[in-house]
Amino acid sequence: MLGLSLAAADTTAKSAQADKSWLAIPFLEIFNARDAGPAISESSVAIPAGGRSISGFLVRPIVAGRLPALLLLSGGGEIPDWLRQSAREIASTGFVALAPAYDPEGLGSNSTLVQAVAGDQLGTNVDAALSWLASQAFVDAQRVGAAGWGEEGAEQVLRLAQRGKIQGGVVADTAACNNPDRWLQVRAVPLLIIQGAGSCTAAKAAALQQMFARAQLPHALHLYPGVSGSFLQSTAAPGPAAAADRAWVDIYEFLAKNVEDTNPAAVPASSQPQNEIARIVDIMRVINADDGVRGELARSLAALPAGNAQWERARSQAAVLAEAGNLLLERRPPKGSLTGWRERAAEFRSAAQAVLRAVEQRDFPAAQEALRRLPQACAACHADYR
């Protein structure tokens, strides 16, 4: 009996520890949980390109309406497994993702002379992939971005940005500081430059950021030293894995701001409240970011509040969380039914009010449980309206 009692106690302790482990999980991971979001479709496609075709890997959420899209460019004649996984991750956030094998002959890896001659062919293939992606019935052609890996992928993203073909560009794992002048060639389209191990030191990166500021460019450089390879590939090493996770959060936020939210005309201005200041995306970022109200409240409830001041702080955070539901009720969604939107906003408010009531009653277990359930309301709304 003693052995059984000890085993039961150990199981209970592990269960309690597991129940609390969600507090340490970034909100983005909970928000994009596969079982909470829309179903994902993936397929191989043939893309017409200059009288022939190139292959591509297409992943998209199975939801109604036209969605933002992202073209993934890594170079080479094959689409590596890590890029396929990247496409799936991006699709789980509400984007259509297309990875084309735009260099089937491997021209980009040849000599400088051959590359110069082959540049037009590679550009033609990339343009064809972008045009094909934008023409799909489930894609909003006004909300398309591109992400490139390596030197060739970076050059293709820059070329598209210079011509105004995309709303935002992400460039990863390049020698960002070797030739800083090339970033100056892109003026209007914002770029996010993700630099892993390579030529950029902290001092060089700071100088490049200052150059962007002086030129009034909408670009940003994020430096992640100590990471090599394609940078965003999965890795078992804790340091690089954590850096890649942070990079993905940066990329998601960049895409949300510069690609997903670049179509305010989708909702007529006359239908919006005249006194509206904060957009839906502003409310969600401040409320649901890991360093926002929801994150602060999670940290306040990570352990039993020590006294009245700590409980009152948690109460204020929970109240602002619930008030966000009222703000969302006043907004109109960029797509979908207004009635459905208000139902979802009311569900979020109710979930946040449950947290507030538990905090007001100083019921610590109930407050933790209510906060744990809150992302479910967010994910349901995300599946319908993002």
Q: Which of 209, 227, 329 is nearest to 280 (CA)?
A: 329
Average pLDDT of the chain, as a whole number: 77
Write down all domains in the chain, each with its CATH number in brackets.
Answer: 37-262 (3.40.50.1820), 268-385 (1.20.120)
| β-pair partners for 53 | 48
Query: What is the pTM assigned to this prediction?
Result: 0.60
Q: How many CB atoms neighbour CB 134 within 10 A?
A: 19
Q: Residue 202, class by beta-carbon neighbours within 10 Å (0-12 exposed, 13-18 middle, 19+ buried)?
A: exposed
- The candidate with the shortest Cα–Cα distance to 75, out of 182, 150, 180, is 150
**Tokens (6 digits) for 83:** 């890029």
Residue-wise pLDDT tens digits, 266-309: 433 334 444 567 888 788 888 877 778 888 888 888 899 988 99
Q: What percent of the chain has pLDDT over 90?
A: 22
pLDDT of the residue at 339: 67
Query: Exposed e or buried b for every residue in 285-317, given b needs 16+ CB within 10 A?
Result: bebbbeebbbbbbbebbeeebeeeeebeebbbb
Exposed, middle or buried: residue 318 (CB in 10 Å: 0-12, 13-18, 19+)?
buried
The pLDDT value recorded for residue 143 is 93
CB within 8 Å of 204: residues ≥ 6 apart: 177
Contacts of 241 (CB under 8 A, 6+ apart): 234, 235
The pLDDT score that the predictor gives to residue 45 is 95
Which residues in the chain come in under a pLDDT of 50? 1-28, 30-32, 34-35, 110-115, 229, 234-238, 264-274
Cα 319 off chain centre by: 27
pLDDT reported for residue 328: 82
**pLDDT at residue 132, rounded to an integer:** 95
First-to-last CA distance in the chain? 54
Question: Residue 63: its pLDDT value, please?
Answer: 85
| Residue 137, pLDDT score | 93
